[in-house]
Amino acid sequence: MKLTTKTPYAISACLYLAAVKTDKLVKCRDVCEPSGLPDKYVAQLLNVLAKANILVGVAGLYGGYKLARPASKITVLEIIEAVEGPLANNGAIELSHMPAKAGRVMEGAMAGLVADARKRFAAITLADLQAGKAA
């Protein structure tokens, strides 16, 4: 399991949109400016989040983005998996040099860690992040 800069950028953008009136469309540059996020990179993430039905994206001069659902209905896990792909044990730890039995134990432990991370991220919503509450 590995998270890149996509995750904090996407979460920051969603938090910004969560703080805006739900009916208002917000331009990418307006999302990026307060936090100094890179426009082009975040624009790509916003499009990915719109395809994942986390955001609504409207093209054009009067277009922009807004949350597709209330902040209390969008989980951190949804955002992570939209921009990073499914959380999984992606071989972050090389186990091929370990004895077979020990390697299987380690693989099981890694699978447990990923499952625990999924549960924890699924229990945290954007509204929880806004309020500073942990699951």
Tell me the per-residue pLDDT of 23-43, one tens digit each, with 9 for 90 and over.
789 999 998 888 888 889 999
Average pLDDT on 5-21 reads: 92
State the CATH class of domain 6-131. mainly alpha
Q: Find out whether 55 and 67 touch, Cβ atoms under 8 Å.
A: yes
- Residues 48-103 have pLDDT tens digits of 999 999 999 998 888 899 999 999 999 999 999 999 998 876 656 677 788 888 87
The residue with greater pLDDT, 91 or 44, is: 44
pTM value? 0.86
pLDDT at 93: 67
Residues 115 and 60: their CA atoms lie apart, in Å, by 41
The ranges assigned to domains in the chain are: 6-131
